[in-house]
Amino acid sequence: MCEGTDFTGVSSAFEFDFNAEVASNLGCPILMLVNGSNKTPEGIVDAIHLSIDAFTQKGCTIAAVIINRVGKHEADAVHKAISEGISINTPVFILPEVPALGRPTVADIARELGAEVLQGEAEELHRPVYDFKVAAMNIPHFLDFITEGDLIITPGDRSDVILGSLATFVSDTFPTIAGLMLTGGFKSEPPVRRLMEGFKQTSMVPIISVPTDTFTSAMNAGGVRAVLQPGDERKIAAALGVFETHVDLAQLEARIDVVRSTRVTPIMFEYELIERAKSVRRHIVLPEGEEPRILRAAEILVRRDVADITLLGNPEQIRQTAGSLGLDLEGVSIIHPATSAHREALAKMYYELRRHKGISKEMAWDTATDVSYFGTLMVKAGLADGMVSGAVHTTGDTIRPAFQIIRIRPEVSLVSSVFLMCLPDRVIVYGDCAVNPNPDAGQLADIAVSSAGTAKMFNIEPRIAMCSYSTGTSGTGQDVEKVREATRIVKSRFPELKIEGPIQYDAAVDAGVARTKLPDSEVAGQATVFIFPDLNTGNNLYKAVQRSSGAVAIGPILQGLNHPVNDLSRGCTVTDIVNTVAITVIQGLRKK
């Protein structure tokens, strides 16, 4: 894909001609973008006609037309004007105006003005700025003018305005500001800074400082354009959401000759994960609802329409944290286990499942308030299709309730895990790198079969390498014999699976080595699923590959449970959470 210039240069006509010439010489069909902001429906139709005529004269082919930034109340009128005024056989899509996308963020303003960031992490700096307020009045008068998403511009020596603006951030009776911009190069006096540092909740309010005077600073800030920056996950999710909702991708794809590469990059794989999850739409419960990373991921998941999300925790605390982070959780369900209407039924279910272990009704009633158990019971009861946890809980906290309540599928002997290793040009499967310390031959065979099933689930053709320090019949020893026996078990139970073992890692991945060591193997040199003999080998190897090659490791993905439950690393990122939820949605297809 070739992206044209952004028409912010001296001559828009020159840029238009340049873009058309590039498209014509490369033979690229054009996805034409028409700005619908502040245009009448008739004006939009005229703009489409003029643009199509201009591109056609340059010898270009129009694949489709997108009209951007149309007011949500004007979409029907625009549709009608297009149907009556355009007779060309070209798809036309209309994207509604999304206010947050049209406004700069505090980070945009800080970058363009060369401001010094005095306070605020990267996520807080991505707050959209809906308006600017220059604070020249005394606090009692100024407070009446504050609106949602304001960037307060004030001299850095106005301590009263600074403290008053910060106070609105923790007040339920005032709108949430986007941040503060201090002008004149002044910074708060030490006692004021010490007082500000004590306001724990206001530490997330972005504060930037510029050396220019207040009037100049306000004029400069007002001229900053809104852009999509890498790392601004909220804006990216909103942009993707509105595009994917209003553009018929199948129709657009049919207009373009697409040559699909056999390469699968990490970005391509993550995109496919999200698209597959969106196509089946499942309900996922996230027990750690008060964790900021979980809240950020929940907003992205809902904005991109990936899954229905339920958060567990104190609703007041969740909403307060979300508000302080500037998040919009509309469409996200929030349940407090202690006060939930489901608590009694879920406690009864837990009692029936665990009474043989000495669990009393009172103990079950108390256990049902634990978010990990409550979430797992929701999955068991069919109130959710899967659960993702582990951002703040240990692996044991996540999988112990799953063992007790959801339990192991009858056709496997144990729960195991895999990592999807996204290399620069392909995706491979590593198992088991997170759960079983020292599986025996039968368990290793089960891990291999489960991992092959997981690979198929994610469109990876399973060619299983049972890894060892020996290849074929060249070596002996207890560890090698365990791998050899596990390979035999798999072949006897599932003769259709392509499997090789024992095999060394180099023979499994390198075609040259494979021709020397196992020339007749269907797996050697082209393995996609790697099964390691023990947890020590698997865990160390996946981390070595991840850190040394820059591969993206997605997981651990648990396999073998009756319903999908997945564990996060406590160091997980928001992207990790989003990907794991998408994976859990796809795993839920097996049960459906």
User: What is the structure's pLDDT at 108?
Assistant: 92
Q: Does residue 308 have a pLDDT over 60?
A: yes
Could you tell me the CATH number of the domain that includes residue 482? 3.40.50.10750
Nearest-angstrom CA–CA distance, 351 and 362 = 9
Spatial contact of 309 and 286, defined as CB atoms under 8 Å apart: yes
Could you tell me the CATH number of the domain that includes residue 214? 3.40.1390.20
Please check whether residue 230 lies inside any domain of the structure: no
Q: Are residues 348 and 208 in the same domain?
A: no
- Mean pLDDT comparison of 191-200, 254-263, 473-482, highest-scoring range: 473-482
Last residue of a domain, one of 80, 97, 114: 97
User: What is the structure's pLDDT at 410?
Assistant: 83
Q: Which is it for the CA torsion 434, 439, 443, 444, positive or negative?
A: positive
Could you tell me the maximum CA-CA distance found in the chain, to the nearest angstrom?
Answer: 86
Q: Does residue 11 have a pLDDT over 80?
A: no
Please, what's the b/e burial string for 161-192 (b: 16 or more CB within 10 A of its CB; e: otherwise)? bbbbbbebbbeeebebbbbbbbbbeeebeeee
Please check whether residue 575 lies inside any domain of the structure: no
Structure tokens at 525: 């040199």
Spatial contact of 281 and 559, defined as CB atoms under 8 Å apart: no
Confidence grade of residue 29 (pLDDT, cut at 50, 70, 90): confident
Q: Which structural domain, as residue segments, surrounds residue 509?
A: 409-560
User: What is the structure's pLDDT at 581?
Assistant: 93
Q: Are residues 279 and 370 in the same domain?
A: yes
How much of the chain, in percent, has pLDDT values that exceed 70? 97
Mean pLDDT of the chain: 87
Q: Are residues 342 and 392 in the same domain?
A: yes
Q: Are residues 343 and 440 in the same domain?
A: no
Could you tell me the CATH number of the domain that includes residue 63? 3.20.20.10
Please check whether residue 591 lies inside any domain of the structure: no
Please check whether residue 273 lies inside any domain of the structure: yes
Confidence grade of residue 383 (pLDDT, cut at 50, 70, 90): very high
User: What is the structure's pLDDT at 336?
Assistant: 94
Q: Could you report the per-residue pLDDT of 427-464, keeping only the tens digit for each?
A: 899 988 888 899 999 999 999 999 999 999 888 889 99
Q: Are residues 71 and 109 in the same domain?
A: no
- pTM (global) more than 0.75: no
Q: Are residues 136 and 216 in the same domain?
A: yes
Please check whether residue 569 lies inside any domain of the structure: no
Q: Are residues 210 and 280 in the same domain?
A: no
Q: Could you give the residue ranges of the DSSP H alpha helices within 339-394?
A: 343-354, 361-367, 371-381
Q: Does residue 210 have a pLDDT over 60?
A: yes
Q: Are residues 289 and 365 in the same domain?
A: yes
Q: Does residue 238 have a pLDDT over 60?
A: yes
Q: Could you report the per-residue pLDDT of 314-371, keeping only the tens digit for each?
A: 999 999 888 888 888 888 999 999 999 999 999 999 999 888 888 888 998 998 899 9
Q: Does residue 262 have a pLDDT over 70?
A: no
User: What is the structure's pLDDT at 591?
Assistant: 55
Q: Are residues 358 and 344 in the same domain?
A: yes
Confidence grade of residue 585 (pLDDT, cut at 50, 70, 90): very high
Q: Are residues 517 and 440 in the same domain?
A: yes
User: What integer is the mean pLDDT of 92-118?
Assistant: 90
Angle at 343 between CA 339 and CA 347, to 5 degrees: 145
Q: Which is it for the CA torsion 297, 288, 374, 408, positive or negative?
A: positive
Number of structural domains found in the chain? 4
Please check whether residue 419 lies inside any domain of the structure: yes
Q: Does residue 524 have a pLDDT over 80?
A: yes
Q: Are residues 209 and 111 in the same domain?
A: yes
Please check whether residue 161 lies inside any domain of the structure: yes
User: What is the structure's pLDDT at 291?
Assistant: 92
Q: Could you report the per-residue pLDDT of 527-583, keeping only the tens digit for each?
A: 999 999 999 999 999 989 888 887 888 888 898 888 999 988 888 889 889 999 999
Q: Does residue 423 have a pLDDT over 70?
A: yes
User: What is the structure's pLDDT at 10?
Assistant: 62
Please check whether residue 573 lies inside any domain of the structure: no
Q: Are residues 118 and 85 in the same domain?
A: no
Last residue of a domain, one of 190, 222, 254: 222
